[in-house]
Chain A
């Protein structure tokens, strides 16, 4: 059973670092800074397996827990997916694109602590019998892009190990 959490709890799962807080804290002056707002992270891996074979695993929304470290399970209901992390917390997501012809998968995290998110997995064909898998993460707040995108890098390495290990 997937446990859904409200915004505060979801925030707490992000290592809980926003928990606590002083009631007398007050904001200082703010201005636009280069590393606030939206962030974009791209990771990639070359896998020595045919692109269509890679797509079979990477493009299946219901199998992400097989290759994404830290995701222990997931459920898919139409265009809604909920992934559960190793700590037992869950992220609601919306599946946007499952394009077998382009080998492109896109989704967005819809948890309230994310103002904007787009995750894109592309399985590209370099033409040499291998696959180039690109995992792009765009998010506001920017830190979320690095948190998810950083984990995605490990996920691609795991994907490669699984697929190349199957040969």
Chain B
């Protein structure tokens, strides 16, 4: 028998949402314990700050330029490399329970296998899809072609209407507000907790684990849709955190004047979005103007977000308990992370988009190696990426890493990271939507983050961002045009362009909004 792998992802969760990372709003004792027993990464970055490209990186071990999913709505080819397939070929039982999103959701033609699968069961034709022999899908609401949606509609139809309506009547991301403050994507959801998708994902994970024999090796991707908006957790749980007592985040500039000054210092699409002049991407409500965001709305969003993080932590605790009951506790590696972050009030913004700052890029990442591995607890401060996950799973399973993987097995401590040259992490953004295109390339290295803009609708290719993460952790002073930083900037840019991943050719086609 080998080591088992529980790969836990959330969606759009900030680094500072966990107690082990300094978060004070949500109680996350289960993940905190994993961190204390394992390896906590303080500078883990995604290779894209939106779902489909980032999740495709986790599966393939490749940067978006190479796997080809350059924005949401571009499906990952069915024959793309998959670490799950490698593990399956090595004898592992494989499952993905929860949110996949390798293929577009907005699919009235039911063209994509993941959407079609919810109608036929949890076992894909041919025995596996992307290496997973068991697929049991859920997303942020009871809408769409997922197993969760069909289950809720069939068993508790009265609960369906309690969720926030994700899209508006124009099929745009909904900007309507709710709750006490009218914050966008907030709603009172009367659903019983045990019917909510967080508990559903955990229970279905447990059910799959229970179907295995004690001798099986397994790789289970348990993928929670929360705390991604909408922020509509079960109302029975909302009282855990009184939003009126939630402090404003350090990254929220207190006055409109401060927000304006900070945003003016950044490339122009930041302020254009804030003011409601430009929406460059589908991931934020087109009808919502960030400048209307109030301090109380930030508090309420963050309170509900924290409740969702707590529910995830508790759900994970139940899965961990079941793993121990099955006798697998000592042989199971647990990796906990997310696909990208969320503004949650930083700079006066919500949601996400082409903005490469820590709110969206600094991710929670915990690797609790199986106790039988004998690896000591550690904190790794050097930069790593989600691109390093697939090689890590290979290392755990004693499967040789493949040449198509662009990352390396995660370092087990800073000395290991130094020895193996973990120096930089790259993130990229490309979007083209209804005539608006934005293109960013970012390097994070030596406590600096440097983003170069390629020409697009509102950029001429000379713009950029340069932040000193040690001296300016809130990234409020853009040093791109600071003459005293010119040589540093040039050095980072040289490093950035020298390490660009190979481009997939021909480029994959955008097929849906998301």
Q: Is the CB of B512 within 8 A of A146?
A: yes
Return A91 CB to nearest CB of chain B, in Å. Answer: 8
Cα distance A113–B168 when bound, in Å? 11
Q: Is the CB of B189 within 8 A of A34?
A: no
Q: Is B141 an interface residue (CB 8 A)?
A: yes
Near A by CB (< 8 A), chain B positions 406-430 give none
Q: Is A69 an interface residue (CB 8 A)?
A: yes
**Interface membership of chain A positions 2-32, coded 1 if the CB is closer than 8 angstroms to chain B and 0 otherwise:** 0000000001011111111110111111110
Cα distance A52–B165 when bound, in Å? 47
Classify chain B: how many residues form its interface, as a range: 35 or more
Residues of chain A within 8 A of B279, CB atoms compared: 33-36
- CB-contact partner of B176 in A11, A28, A89, under 8 A: A28
Near B by CB (< 8 A), chain A positions 97-153 give 113, 141-147, 150-151, 153
Q: Is A85 an interface residue (CB 8 A)?
A: yes
Q: A141-B172, A146-B513 are in contact. Are A18 and B167 (CB under 8 A)?
A: yes
Residues of chain B within 8 A of A143, CB atoms compared: 106, 170-172, 282, 513
Q: Is the CB of B115 within 8 A of A15?
A: yes
Return B112 CB to nearest CB of chain A, in Å. Answer: 9
Return B504 CB to nearest CB of chain A, in Å. Answer: 17
Cα distance A75–B106 when bound, in Å? 25
Return A3 CB to nearest CB of chain B, in Å. Answer: 14
Q: Is B321 an interface residue (CB 8 A)?
A: no
Cα distance A33–B290 when bound, in Å? 13
Residues of chain B within 8 A of A19, CB atoms compared: 141-143, 160, 165
Q: A33-B286, A141-B170 are in contact. Are A71 and B182 (CB under 8 A)?
A: no
Cα distance A84–B278 when bound, in Å? 36
Residues of chain B within 8 A of A14, CB atoms compared: 106, 108, 167, 171
Q: Is the CB of B172 within 8 A of A22?
A: no
Q: A15-B143, A150-B512 are in contact. Are A22 and B109 (CB under 8 A)?
A: no
Return B287 CB to nearest CB of chain A, in Å. Answer: 5
Cα distance A143–B279 when bound, in Å? 14
Q: A17-B167, A26-B176 are in contact. Are A36 and B287 (CB under 8 A)?
A: yes
Residues of chain B within 8 A of A15, CB atoms compared: 105-108, 115, 143-145
Q: Is A59 an interface residue (CB 8 A)?
A: no
Near B by CB (< 8 A), chain A positions 49-88 give 69-71, 85-87
Return A93 CB to nearest CB of chain B, in Å. Answer: 14
Q: Is B161 an interface residue (CB 8 A)?
A: yes
Beyond contacts A31-B276, A35-B436, A150-B104: 16 other A-B pairs, Cβ-Cβ < 8 A, are: A13-B108, A14-B171, A17-B143, A19-B165, A20-B160, A20-B161, A21-B164, A21-B165, A22-B165, A27-B177, A28-B287, A29-B289, A29-B292, A33-B276, A113-B169, A143-B282
A-B contact pairs, 24 of them (CB 8 A): A15-B144, A15-B145, A17-B166, A18-B143, A20-B164, A25-B178, A26-B176, A28-B176, A29-B289, A30-B175, A31-B289, A33-B276, A33-B286, A35-B434, A69-B111, A70-B108, A70-B110, A85-B108, A147-B108, A147-B512, A150-B509, A150-B510, A150-B512, A153-B511
Residues of B within 8 A of A (CB): 73, 104-111, 115-116, 119, 141-145, 149, 160-172, 174-178, 182, 184, 187-189, 232, 276, 278-280, 282, 286-289, 292, 433-436, 509-513
- 9 cross-chain pairs, A with B, having the tightest CB-CB distances, nearest first: A70-B109, A22-B187, A21-B165, A141-B170, A150-B511, A143-B171, A16-B143, A20-B163, A25-B176
Residues of A within 8 A of B (CB): 11, 13-22, 24-31, 33-36, 39-40, 43, 69-71, 85-87, 89, 113, 141-147, 150-151, 153-154
